[in-house]
Amino acid sequence: MKHLISPTDLTVSELSGILDLAEKIINDPKEYSEACHGKKLATLFYEPSTRTRLSFEAAMLNLGGSILGFSTADSSSAAKGESVADTIRVISSYADICAMRHPKEGAPLVASYHSSIPVINAGDGGHNHPTQTLTDLLTIKNLKGRLNNLTIGLCGDLKFGRTVHSLINSLVLYEGIKFVLISPVELRIPTYIKEQVLEAHNIPYEEVDILEDKMPELDILYMTRVQKERFFNEEDYIRLKDSFILNSKKMSKAKDDMLVLHPLPRVNEISTEVDSDPRAAYFKQAEYGVYARMALIMKMLEVE
């Protein structure tokens, strides 16, 4: 049995299997409306979420399955001191598959060691978020038509942003990928990602702290929120939170077919005036999250 803990758990051919199935679902959702009849998904969320949890639940309901779970640590027995290991042992007998979000890096991996059902990492601290990556890849593939030969700007909190860490890990598997890493010096991408992922795959990248100059080069601009909850002190957060604000003036320097992605939630790093720009793809991206998760659930439950 297989879990999805890290984006590197999926090979290019497994990724394309999931993305192809997601596209089939988009084209004919009715065909899949009973695919998971009789199956249950548990969502174990120890950290806040809107899109990830609700799109997981919508995905399972769209497949004719059912859902159960909790959405805050304090509404579960974690508040009484129960370990993730004990919780998952029990949930394994209540559900067929589970999605877990946890503030501690590695918690879903620990859960997978004690689980008899597939565990999906729905975000672990500042580490990984593989199902957001599936969503991002599906969005890029569908709206750009390809996953290779792309210059991708990743902008904002590259230190704590788990969606960025996961996306890099998967995109390095495709040909002709270049990254422009745009962040304040304090929020640069962790060294282990530079050395073990980017450099290990010979991926060209540059680190800059100004967005405007790089706009004309980008095929994709992936904006991110400064991850307030992972800062050690409020002063640093306040100093860094408005480092980058994407507005219409900056968009005027971008290619006509550049796409703006954002995993959401947005705070103020994208001005709302950008929402009506045809290149703004972040709400469409959130919609694709349901299809990506439907495809993933089907693959993991082997119900295709």
CA distances to 23, 26, 41, 53, 141 from 29, rounded to whole Å, are: 10, 6, 19, 20, 19
Between 35 and 164, CB nearer to ligand NCD: 164
Q: Is the previous residue joined to 265 through a cis bond, with omega within 30 degrees of 0? A: yes
Q: How far is the CB of 294 from ligand NCD (least distance, A)?
A: 17
Residues taking part in catalysis: 51-52, 80, 101, 129
The DSSP-derived string for 63-111 is TT-EEEEESSGGGSGGGGT--HHHHHHHHTTT-SEEEEEESSTTHHHHH
Q: How far is the CB of 9 from ligand NCD (least distance, A)?
A: 18
List contacts with ligand NCD (CB under 6 A). 51-52, 123, 129, 132, 162-163, 225, 263-265
Type of residue at 87: T
Is the Cβ–Cβ distance between 203 and 176 less than 8 Å?
no
Between 3 and 225, CB nearer to ligand NCD: 225
| Crossing angle (nearest 10°) for helices 130-144 and 12-27 | 60
Between 121 and 132, CB nearer to ligand NCD: 132
Q: How far is the CB of 97 from ligand NCD (least distance, A)?
A: 18
Between 43 and 132, CB nearer to ligand NCD: 132
Taking the alpha carbons at both ends of the chain, their separation in whole angstroms is 16
Q: How far is the CB of 162 from ligand NCD (least distance, A)?
A: 5
Between 39 and 162, CB nearer to ligand NCD: 162
Q: How far is the CB of 93 from ligand NCD (least distance, A)?
A: 28
- Phi-psi region at 208: left, alpha or beta (left = phi > 0; alpha = psi -120 to 50): beta
C-alpha–C-alpha distance, residues 51 and 135, integer Å:
11
* Main-chain dihedrals φ then ψ at residue 243, nearest 5 degrees: -60, -40
Q: Which of 252, 247, 127, 236 is nearest to 185 (CA)?
A: 236
